[in-house]
Structure 1
Amino acid sequence: MRFFSAVLGLCALLAQGPAHAELPTDPLSWLGRISSAGQRLNYVGTFVYQSGGHVETSRIAHRVDVNGEHERLEVLDGSPREIIRRGNEVHCVLPDERTVIIDEAGGRRAFPARLPASLSGLAESYRIRKGEVSRVAGYEAQALVLEPKDDLRYGHTLWAEMQSGLLLKSRMIDENGGLIEQFSFSDVRIGGEVDEELLASRFEPGEGWRVVNARGSGMAADDAGWVLAEALPGYSLTSVMQRPLGRERGQAVHMVFSDGLAAISVFIEPVGDGSAIGLGPVSNGAINIYKRTVDGHLVTTLGEAPERAVRRIGDNIRSVAQ
């Protein structure tokens, strides 16, 4: 009888779980934890992306050391794709096309580092509240709900691991509560060492491979030659860059407008052969795209935002020379 009493007592203690450090009570502090955790922690895991009928599984390994962030993301379904990050440089490896695209890590990151470093202004566009605590990938996770205050952005629910703050699951929904896209870890190890072999590319680009340098150069907004004639509520210009279009095609102006969570990109390039094809709105999964021609230029606007928001920015891009 004493044995069973001792076992029951031990089970009761285990059910209580380990002692937790002081956790934040306000949702904005939780968002801050999510933002920093995705960039400062070591983790290795597998996550599933879902959008409509499309489901895709990826494996990610992330390590932080004195040289900055190191990350390898491999898509496990369909055509092989791999993204390797070393500090601020990103290599997108496409083995079937025998192509490597080199770019720089921008402000908007991939899952689970979905939130930007700066969260100022989010409360102006979203009602933010804590949801319930539930289990995701074997961890206790705090849900954070972001409800848009207008129809110019989507709603989000984020699930953060209780102790580390790492984002374990994120869901984007439309104004009717319908699922637009979802990322969710199926398994993940948080902390500990991440071996170099987990971060190394398993492909060896060599002879016959094409290397595309897509890195842009930052420029002052006043030098872009293009402006947003009518501001979109909650969105502000966060970056302006020039990006190479390829041999003899010149440069494109790349502008990014963000509310701190949603981001809408605008690419402006000279009209070329066939560039007038496909003008107007189109969607690709969670991304809405809108194209129009302005003053001899093709303006392509795209982002994970409602079509009305993407179209309003696209329709209000003006040349300073006009």
Structure 2
Amino acid sequence: MKNHILPFLLLLLVSAFQTVIAESQPQSSDKAFDWIQKVATAPRQYNYSGTFVYYADNYMESSQVTHKVDHEGEFEKIEVLDGSTRIVFRNNDEMKCYLPDSKKIYTEKRWFRKFFPDLLPQPSERIKENYNIQIKKQERVAGYDGQILMLVPKDNLRYGYKFWIHVDSGLLLKAAVMDKENIIEQFAFAQIEIDGEIDASILDPDSSFKATKNWKTINLSTVLLDEGELAWRLGKLPSGFKKVAEMKRNLVGKSLMVDHIVLSDELASVSVFIEPVIKDTSSPVPGFYSSRGAINIYVRELENNKITTVGEVPLNTIKLIGDAVRLQ
């Protein structure tokens, strides 16, 4: 018996040693960036449907997503399965959010892609300036083989990321935001079907919500502006962050249009909202405010305007960006 066991143990030892060697060998920067590009493009190329779970700060929420691609573009439905009912329908960039409990429908044109598993914009090579991209081993997620990709920040101005990527399609199966070794927030599919047939009626809001005359529709408009149209300028920004867009938006609960500046380092995004302080209302309390997961908030007042900076970056970075806002 010993003679049979010894070769088997040696085989396991050699296999384990080869695995360690393979994982420790440096991967080419180009190959790693190819994975990033696959993650960015996959959600626009494949049908998929499944249930994913969001977890952060001891809070967990599950959602069901159905996504279809055809000659007319993308169609998507995301339904939150926990708590009050929230259902989002998307036709390319046109979005409708249904809140059955309050019988309200919010419509908005999506100007920035950021819904799991569609978490990455179209990245450029600039992402390598801020992150070391490392190809790690493979792990199974929701029954699929997933390639692990680590994005390790080169400074303390941003969080790290860990992606589990479906090896065939490039679709994200799982994603975690990391503060060094600690997971701040995480999305993960518990079940998913990739590239299957999807009935178009599932993605039609009119098929789900009949006779909505008692419902109130609220149109949230966004006006994209050219560079420099806003009365605000940005001073010195944290390394790697650049302005992506500036716009005016009417937001839920706001009576006036709000100025909105968006910044990104090709992965993390930060929004700066600027609105006048309304007379006879309490002034904003400057300082930091916590949110769930990776989102941090910083508020300051300048020239009778409230400046709120919100983003998935550390507190020191959110303050540097918020303090960089200047009136032209």
Specify the TM-score bucket, using the shorter chain as the normaliser.
Answer: 0.7 to 0.9
SS state at 1:103 partner: strand
Counterpart among 200, 206, 219 of residue 204 in structure 2: 200
Q: In the alignment, is the contact (CA less than 8 A) between 2:50 and 2:66 conserved in 1? A: yes
Q: Residue 208 of structure 1: CA displacement?
A: 3.6
33, 42, 66: which one pairs with 1:61? 66
Is 1:310 aligned with 2:318? Answer: yes
TM-score normalized by the length of structure 1: 0.87
SS at match of 2:212: coil
Match of 1:319 in 2: 327
The answer on whether the counterparts of 1:157 and 1:171 sit within 8 Å (CA) in structure 2 is yes
- 1:45 counterpart letter in structure 2: G
The residue that corresponds to 1:13 in the other structure is none
> Letter of the aligned partner of 2:276 in structure 1?
P
Q: Secondary structure at the match of 1:77?
A: coil
Q: Which residue pairs with 1:11 in the alignment? A: none
Of 299, 303, 307 in structure 1, the residue corresponding to residue 307 of structure 2 is 299
Distance 1:205 1:71 in 2: 22
User: In the alignment, what sits opposite 2:291?
Assistant: 284
Q: Helix, strand or coil for the counterpart of 1:128?
A: strand
Residue of structure 1 aligned with 2:231, choices 225, 231, 244: 225
Q: Which deviates further from its counterpart, 91-100 or 124-133?
A: 91-100
Q: What does the per-residue CA deviation read over 1:251-278, in whole Å, with 9 as the maximum and x for residues that have no partner?
A: 2111000001100000111112546244
Task: Kindly tell me the number of residue pairs found equivalent between the two proteins.
Answer: 296
Q: Does 1:186 align with 2:194?
A: no
Cα displacement (A) at 1:248 = 9.3
Query: Paired residue for 1:14?
Result: none
* SS of 1:222 mapped into structure 2: coil
Instruction: Select 2:91's aligned residue among 86, 101, 110.
Output: 86
Q: Does 1:108 align with 2:113?
A: yes
The within-5 A match list for 1:41-52 is 41-52=46-57
Using the alignment, how far apart are the partners of 2:97 and 2:252 within structure 1? 17
Ranges in structure 2 where 5+ consecutive residues have no aligned partner: 1-28
Distance in 1 (alpha carbons) for counterparts of 2:311 and 2:282: 20
SS at match of 1:182: strand
Q: Which amino acid aligns with 1:241?
A: M
CA offset digits 1:26-79 (Å, max 9, x no partner):
110011111110121100111010011100000000001111110000000011
Q: Which residue of 2 aligns with 1:159?
A: 164
Matching residue of 2:132: 127
- Does structure 1 retain, via aligned residues, the 8 Å contact 2:43–2:118? yes
The 8 Å contact of residues 215 and 244 in structure 1, kept in 2 or not, is answered as yes
257-266 vs 219-228, greater mean Cα deviation? 219-228
Q: 1:25 to 1:223 in 2, by over 3 A?
A: closer
- Seq. identity, %: 38
The answer on whether the counterparts of 1:95 and 1:203 sit within 8 Å (CA) in structure 2 is: no
What amino acid sits opposite 1:154 in the alignment? Answer: Y
Q: Distance in 1 between matches of 2:117 and 2:253?
A: 35
Cα–Cα, structure 1 residues 278 and 99, in superposed 2: closer, same or farther, change >3 Å?
farther
Q: What amino acid is the match of 2:283?
A: A
What value does the CA root-mean-square deviation take over the aligned residues?
1.9
- Partners of 2:192 and 2:273 lie apart in 1 by 36
Could you tell me whether the CA contact under 8 Å between 2:237 and 2:320 is conserved in 1?
no
Match of 1:242 among 248, 262, 274: 248
CA contact (8 A) 1:128 1:144 kept: yes
Equivalent pair of 2:284/2:301 in contact (CA under 8 Å): no
The alignment's TM-score, normalised by the length of structure 2, stands at 0.86
Q: Output the CA distance in 2 between the equivalents of 1:305 and 1:247.
A: 25
The residue type equivalent to 2:288 in the other structure is P
Tell me, in whole angstroms, the C-alpha distance in 1 between the residues paired with 2:211 and 2:163: 37
**Counterpart for residue 21 of structure 2:** none
Contact 1:243 1:254 in 2 (8 A): yes
Question: Which whole-Å CA distance do the structure 1 matches of 2:133 and 2:272 have between them?
Answer: 28
Counterpart contact for 1:98–1:205, Cα < 8 Å: no
Residue identity matched to 1:280: G
**1:62–1:72 contact (8 Å) kept in structure 2:** yes
